Amino acid sequence: MVRALLRLILVLAIVVAAAAFFVRRPDTWRAQRVGGEVGEKTVEAANLAAAVLTDGTMTAKIKSKMALDDSVRARAIDVWTTNHVVTVSGIVRSQAEHDRVVQLARETAGVTRVNDHLAFAR
């Protein structure tokens, strides 16, 4: 009795699925269009992630250069990068330290511009 009921349910499920498939055929053109849109959005997201990663990498490189340079107090200087534009801010002790910070930022690969917001200690 239970077997017969299970068979009946299985047959009904197959019939309903087949009817749904044949009654409404898949719209392949729409599926391709939607797939293309999803692909474009995926590429945009990947490019954005790569840009963020690149900016973060540039910031890390500049901070590392400053930390290794004895003429720069790296902890007193903030660095951030947005779209390959580096901004440096903080307190420097001398014109030489100021020039060195800006030079380290400018000579880093991928940097297109350096915004200087450094201030001199009094």
Give the helix, strand, coil percentages of the chain, each rounded to 5: 65, 20, 20
Domain range annotation of the chain: 2-120
**At 108, phi and psi to the nearest 5?**
-75, 135
pLDDT at residue 15, rounded to an integer = 76
Residue 59's alpha-carbon distances to 30, 63, 120, 122, in angstroms, are 44, 6, 22, 27
Count CB-CB contacts under 10 A for residue 88: 21
Q: 38-91 pLDDT, tens per residue?
A: 777 777 777 777 666 688 899 999 999 999 999 999 999 999 999 899 999 999
Which pTM was predicted? 0.61
Query: What would the CATH number be for the domain defined by 2-120?
Result: 3.30.300
DSSP state of 76: G
Looking at residue 21, its pLDDT comes to: 64
Q: For the segment 13-25, what is each residue's pLDDT rounded down to a tens digit?
A: 777 777 666 666 6
